[in-house]
A = this chain, B = another copy of it.
């Protein structure tokens, strides 16, 4: 009896969840033919509650919307008739009653997570499927299927992936997981190359993709009405150029290329966030200022704000990282809440950066990198295990939901398909990615000990996947300012599908054919680690003699400073640490 009811409620949950989204996402929305009173209420309330047009995208699975709808009735307050309106006396005391509205939001979120996780089990039980296709592709397909079912069976469109949900609740666990388990040594050894690709590479891509798309627009290729303005094109270019950390993680975790290749591509996808944020904001406000009214000061502010966003985000992350180290120094009597500090303080670092419009991704990445050094020697082994697996669990389910929602969000009736624009965007993204990688690798190889080979460069180009960050950003574009918003949304989805499906599926066989060096999973032995440390000191010494301030020297100096001043402050039991650290 109850299992049937449960299923019914689940279906209802999905339908209701979707009903909320329609009137806000649809510019040319078809009015729902039959909707329950609840839906009508929700809709009215949502429309009244809207203050700015840009707010329109902020609905769906965001845990907040149901609060806009007046809760028909709070918990345990009696049945529906027993509400506060005194004029209406209830008839009789009921034996039982049903009230879905008050638990709607958490229930729908739960159902989404559950169905995404079950879908994930499904793939892994069909071995052939999951050997050929990456999980991300399969999840998008499942999402599309759910989207189609909801679209045709319920007469209401769905868009559960809202930018706020994405940026505040799904992205942080994924990035924290990446930052906390970042192979620090590898990351800092390749930092030069990573920064080159992330900053110069992304700017290069924005300039070339934007310029080319605009030039093609000038030629009238897209048709009269659908040719976007200069700033519109560059706004689009700045969100479509960035390589996506979530997509890169999802694909690269399955192909197991060597660590250097992995860290260069993944590091780029993390650090390019500052460029994306700044360029996106800049193009957006230039658009509002008006092209003809931009003065030198605006451009100088733009360049300056890049440093503010990047360095500010990094600084906030590092400060919160140190604070976390400091706090966990004192947790030896309350082991059970140790993981709480790591999760909450990293999350606060992310939000803190977002308050100042700085790069939250940089903040949480560097918070993870910084805290790990100190936290790991303070917390208990059990807390360590909890952090590790809870982070993996959270990031894995966030990733699952992101790809599934990407699929669901694809099915709507607002698409503006412009074949030329889509084809040219994909072409320019691919071509300029390759050119950018070749040029910058040539530059990087002048300074690198381990040169990037042709094959490496190919994987770097081919691994430049686009993903949900671009999608969330394009949803945030203001329709009143950028007339071609819907065309941009459609094109972004097309680019994501192209990279995730075509490149994601073919990268595995290509890596095999090209014989790319694979990762070795072996952990370094104690001897090797001692040898490594010794070599570091030796190299720093050689650098000293040669008179060059290189990587090794900086690291050596930081290590000495860290050991003398920071560690004694942040680490509880230094002896234990020193023993463990060798």
What is A's interface to B at a CB cutoff of 8 Å? 2-3, 5-6, 9, 49-55, 57-58, 62-68, 70-71, 73-79, 82-86, 89-90, 92-100, 102-103, 105-107, 110-111, 113-114, 117-118, 120-121, 124-125, 163-164, 167-169, 277, 280-282, 284-286, 288-290, 295, 297-298, 301-302, 304-305, 308-309, 312, 315-316, 319-320, 323, 327, 330-331, 333-334, 336-337, 339-341, 344-345, 347-348, 351-352, 354-358, 382-383, 385-386, 389-390, 392-393, 396-397, 400, 473, 476, 478, 480-481
Contact of A64 (CB < 8 Å), options: B66, B73, B82, B90? B66
A interface majority secondary structure:
helix
Known pairs A78-B285, A339-B389; A344 contacts B114 (CB<8 A) = yes
Which 4 A-B residue pairings sit nearest by Cβ, starting from the closest?
A: A64-B67, A51-B70, A124-B333, A386-B389
A52 to B72, CA, bound (A): 8
Contact of A99 (CB < 8 Å), options: B89, B97, B320, B355? B355
Q: For A6, what are the chain B residues with a Cβ–Cβ distance below 8 Å?
A: 316, 319-320, 352
Asked if B351 and A96 make an inter-chain contact with CB atoms under 8 angstroms apart, the answer reads no
Asked if B334 and A93 make an inter-chain contact with CB atoms under 8 angstroms apart, the answer reads no
Chain B residue with Cβ nearest A299:
B93
Q: For A389, what are the chain B residues with a Cβ–Cβ distance below 8 Å?
A: 336, 339, 382-383, 385-386
Asked if A103 and B351 make an inter-chain contact with CB atoms under 8 angstroms apart, the answer reads yes
Asked if B333 and A125 make an inter-chain contact with CB atoms under 8 angstroms apart, the answer reads yes
Asked if A113 and B64 make an inter-chain contact with CB atoms under 8 angstroms apart, the answer reads no
Q: For A120, what are the chain B residues with a Cβ–Cβ distance below 8 Å?
A: 334, 337
Chain B residue with Cβ nearest A331:
B121
Q: For A285, what are the chain B residues with a Cβ–Cβ distance below 8 Å?
A: 78-79, 82, 90, 93
Chain B residue with Cβ nearest A475:
B74
Known pairs A65-B67, A67-B65, A168-B75; A99 contacts B9 (CB<8 A) = no
Q: For A392, what are the chain B residues with a Cβ–Cβ distance below 8 Å?
A: 336
**Residue from the set A58, A63, A103, A476 with the largest chain B CB neighbour count within 10 Å:** A103
Q: For A52, what are the chain B residues with a Cβ–Cβ distance below 8 Å?
A: 70-71, 73, 83-85
Contact of A284 (CB < 8 Å), options: B53, B82, B290? B82
Q: For A82, what are the chain B residues with a Cβ–Cβ distance below 8 Å?
A: 284-285, 288
Chain B residue with Cβ nearest A9:
B355
Contact of A304 (CB < 8 Å), options: B85, B90, B95? B95
Contact of A2 (CB < 8 Å), options: B74, B167, B315, B336? B315
Q: For A282, what are the chain B residues with a Cβ–Cβ distance below 8 Å?
A: 93
Known pairs A52-B84, A348-B111; A393 contacts B89 (CB<8 A) = no
- 20 of the cross-chain contacts (CB-CB < 8 Å) are A2-B352, A51-B71, A52-B71, A52-B73, A55-B70, A64-B66, A68-B68, A71-B164, A75-B354, A93-B302, A93-B305, A96-B309, A98-B356, A113-B344, A114-B345, A114-B348, A120-B337, A121-B330, A125-B330, A340-B393
Asked if A79 and B281 make an inter-chain contact with CB atoms under 8 angstroms apart, the answer reads yes
